[in-house]
């Protein structure tokens, strides 16, 4: 089955609007995706008909809200093939999911029974040079709090991890390896099994940032064989304000809490508190109920399209985009320039023209792209550039839109020549 | 190419970007400053020499987006050789224009004074780009202050925007 892009586009109301008097060409889905009508309807219906707090009201609305929220958890669990629905923790976004792990690990220093998570001087935390700041800063902060050492796997000129560094940098001292599945800055899809095999061999925990893969590829957390996975709802056609931390149940069950509050406890006594089992231990306070339900609707939408079909379609798009962009003189792709192990996010520079000028002039032609370091500044530093222009695609992107991008970039070049 | 009438990129801006004025650093100077705009990674190094209450000489080098470089060029044309008091007044006026969020109400007299700098009016609608347009102006202001000028009617202490 192939994806019917025209039908998909009709499901996204925003795609029919104009910008500066021309039809919107939205090529910034890696930043945040647009939302299908069904997600908007689900949010409205929840607030209009079922709104109540979860897990604490005995009345009908309370039961409906709780069921809707917990149904969303089931949908997420099925979407990523989790072995157990209790492995799915709702967070605010990917950033919070990653911070949750990092803070739980430092809380382990003084938490009874959490010895396996303790890290300190002499231990090492390994990330990659292509991480989003959300998968750098929480680990730098953890290293600072615990005295552990922060290290990273370097990237090569083509935007891929230096393979030999995997064995060199991940050693017996490594306690955590946190890495991105698909890079938001380069489009690179990393060799998960290669990294996980090495991490397992040295007994390190693995954390996968799937923010840019969950919307675009079939995700199977059991097959990936990592310990934790983080992703964010707003990039996968769901609402803002909801993300997911998936973790292996035995690990979550031994991990200290991150935030304290309502719903995360078993019993509270003024002399001490015991904590709920996962996932509730990690969901203090009233959660993002409507947003989680909305994410469930987005997942239903993606599942109906079929993630295999989504991945195949986006592979066609990136193949086409790389071919077409290569015809522009002076344009350099930052990241893999062949459609192998890469997603449908293409960053580039144009000789002599600043990315912010390119993005602004494209916007004046109705084309939305992102310019900057894409919250992955070390990538720009690695290539000695201040910024890139990035076009990123999704289920609603057409080849005509890629043609519009190529025409737009060509016009920008003419203006500056 | 055809661009919307309200395009941020007026021809004047592109001309200044392609042919920057007062480009190059004078040998003889009283102060040198280096300002950076982290949004676009724009940079400008600017030197001034002051004499008799005037900006006797001003030159700069920089790199970055066209808005930052063209604005620095326009600023240089406007203030080089002018009394410092006038330059500071122009700076205030341009700052006001940039902070207007697209709702500036320039009088004809303002437009006469600001000359080519009026072309940046459209930038004020884009908060992310305002700092680009202000980069050179802020650099000029702090260079003049560093060169020892103590103003008459403009506060010397606030180095607004410098290095921010
Ligand atoms: C690879 C990657 N990781 C993490 C994030 C952070 O996502 P959020 O801002 O939703 O927490 C992003 C999004 O910008 C991303 O692209």
Chain B residue nearest residue A408, CA to CA: B1
Per-residue model confidence as pLDDT tens for chain A (417 residues): 689 999 999 999 999 999 999 999 999 999 999 999 999 999 999 999 999 999 777 899 999 999 999 999 999 999 999 999 999 999 999 999 999 999 999 999 888 889 999 999 999 999 999 999 999 999 999 999 999 999 999 999 999 999 999 999 999 999 999 999 999 999 999 999 999 999 999 999 999 999 999 999 999 999 999 999 999 999 999 999 999 999 999 999 999 999 999 889 888 888 888 999 999 999 999 999 999 999 999 999 999 999 999 999 999 999 999 999 999 999 999 999 999 999 999 999 999 999 999 999 999 999 999 998 889 989 998 999 989 999 999 999 999 999 999 999 999 999 998
* Calpha distance A198→A202 (Å, rounded): 7
Confidence band, pLDDT 50/70/90 cuts, at residue B127? confident
pLDDT of residue B4 exceeding 60: no
CB proximity B41 to A under 8 Å: yes
> Looking at ligand 1, which atom is closest to the CA of residue A234?
10
Confidence at residue A2, expressed as pLDDT on a 0 to 100 scale: 87
- Ligand 1: atom nearest CA of A182 is 1
pLDDT exceeds cutoff 50 at B154: no
Give CA–CA dist A367/B71, Å, rounded.
25
Helix (H, G, I), strand (E, B) or coil at A262: coil
Q: How far apart (Å, rounded) are the C-alpha atoms in residues A325 and A72?
A: 40
Check CB contact of A354 with chain B, cutoff 8 Å: yes
Rounded to whole angstroms, how far apart are CA atoms A390 and A405?
11
Confidence of residue B7 (pLDDT cuts 50, 70, 90): confident
Percentage of chain B lying above the pLDDT 90 cut? 71
B158 pLDDT more than 90: no
Give chain B positions within 8 Å (CB) of A372. Answer: 39-40
Active site residue A375: yes
**Domains and their CATH numbers in chain B:** 3-149 (3.90.1010.10)
Model pLDDT, residue A356: 93
SS3 call for A136: coil
**Burial degree of B52 (CB within 10 A; 0-12, 13-18, 19+):** exposed
DSSP output for A68-128 = HHHHHHHHHHHHTT-S-GGGEEEESSHHHHHHHHHHHHHHGGGSTT-GGG---TT-EEEEE
pLDDT greater than 70 at residue B2: no
The pLDDT, as a whole number, for residue B6 is 64
User: Greatest CA span in chain B, whole angstroms?
Assistant: 47
Q: Which of B29, B67, B62 lies closest to B48, judged by CA?
A: B29
Domains of chain A: residue spans and CATH? 5-30+307-416 (3.90.1150.10), 41-303 (3.40.640.10)
Q: Which one from A251, A254, A312, A375 is the annotated catalytic residue?
A: A375
Residues with CB under 6 A from ligand 1: A 93-95, 132, 134-135, 180, 184, 209, 211-212, 232, 243, 375
**Both tokens of residue A161?**
């991890």
Residue A383 at interface with chain B, using a CB cutoff of 8 Å: no
CA B51, CA A172: separation in Å to the nearest integer? Answer: 67
Q: What ipTM was assigned to the predicted interfaces of this complex? A: 0.80
Q: What is the pLDDT of residues B60-115, one digit of tens each?
A: 999 999 999 999 999 999 999 999 999 999 999 999 999 998 888 889 999 999 99
Distance A85 CA to ligand 1 centre (A): 23
Judge whether A150 and A139 are in contact, CB under 8 Å: yes
Pair of tokens at residue A16: 């029919």
Provide the pLDDT for residue B39: 75
């Amino acid at each position: 089955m192939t994806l019917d892009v025209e039908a998909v586009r009709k499901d996204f109301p925003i795609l029919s609007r104009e910008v500066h008097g021309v039809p919107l060409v939205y090529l910034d889905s890696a930043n945040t995706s647009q939302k299908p009508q069904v997600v908007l309807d689900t949010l409205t219906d929840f607030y209009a008909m079922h709104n109540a707090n979860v897990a604490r009201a005995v009345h009908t609305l309370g039961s409906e809200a709780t069921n809707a929220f917990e149904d969303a958890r089931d949908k997420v669990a099925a979407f990523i093939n989790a072995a157990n629905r209790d492995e799915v923790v709702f967070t605010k976004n990917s950033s919070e999911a990653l911070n949750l792990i990092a803070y739980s690990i430092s809380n382990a220093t003084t938490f009874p029974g959490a010895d396996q998570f303790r890290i300190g001087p002499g231990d090492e935390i390994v990330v990659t040079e292509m991480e989003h700041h959300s998968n750098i800063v929480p680990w730098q902060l953890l290293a600072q709090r615990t005295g552990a050492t922060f290290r990273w796997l370097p990237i090569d000129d083509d935007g891929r991890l230096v393979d030999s560094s995997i064995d060199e940098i991940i050693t017996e001292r490594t306690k955590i390896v946190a890495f991105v599945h698909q890079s938001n800055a380069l489009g690179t899809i990393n060799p998960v099994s290669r990294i996980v095999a090495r991490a397992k061999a040295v007994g390190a925990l693995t954390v996968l940032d799937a923010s840019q893969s969950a919307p675009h590829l079939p995700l199977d957390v059991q097959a990936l064989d990592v310990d934790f996975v983080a992703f964010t709802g707003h990039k996968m056609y769901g609402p803002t304000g909801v993300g997911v931390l998936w973790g292996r149940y035995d690990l979550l069950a031994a991990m200290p809490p991150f935030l304290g509050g309502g719903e995360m406890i078993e019993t509270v006594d003024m002399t001490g508190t015991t904590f709920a089992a996962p996932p509730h231990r990690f969901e203090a306070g009233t959660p993002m109920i409507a947003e989680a339900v909305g994410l469930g609707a987005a997942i239903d939408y993606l599942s109906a399209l079929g993630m295999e079909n989504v991945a195949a379609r986006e592979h066609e798009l990136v193949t086409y985009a790389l071919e077409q962009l290569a015809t522009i003189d002076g344009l350099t792709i930052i990241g893999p320039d062949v459609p192998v192990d890469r997603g449908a996010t293409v960053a580039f520079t144009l000789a002599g023209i600043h990315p912010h000028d390119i993005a602004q002039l494209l916007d004046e032609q109705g084309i939305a792209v992102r310019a900057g370091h894409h919250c992955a500044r070390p990538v720009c530093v690695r290539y000695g550039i201040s910024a890139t222009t990035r076009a990123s695609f999704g289920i609603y992107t057409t080849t005509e839109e890629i043609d519009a991008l190529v025409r737009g970039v060509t016009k920008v070049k003419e203006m500056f020549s | 190419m055809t661009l919307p009438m309200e395009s941020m990129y007026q021809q004047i801006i592109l001309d200044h970007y392609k042919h920057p004025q007062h480009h190059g650093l004078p040998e003889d100077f009283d102060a040198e400053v280096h300002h950076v705009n982290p949004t676009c990674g724009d940079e400008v190094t600017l030197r001034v020499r002051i004499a008799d209450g005037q900006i006797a000489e001003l030159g700069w080098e920089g790199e970055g987006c066209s808005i930052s470089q063209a604005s620095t060029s326009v600023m240089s044309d406007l203030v080089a050789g002018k009394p410092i008091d006038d330059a500071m007044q122009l700076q205030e006026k341009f700052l006001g224009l940039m902070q207007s969020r697209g709702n500036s109400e320039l009088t004809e007299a303002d437009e006469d004074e600001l000359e080519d700098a009026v072309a940046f009016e459209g930038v004020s609608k884009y908060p992310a780009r305002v700092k680009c347009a202000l980069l050179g102006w802020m650099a000029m202001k702090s260079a003049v202050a560093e060169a020892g000028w103590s103003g008459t009617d403009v506060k010397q202490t606030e180095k607004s925007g410098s290095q921010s």
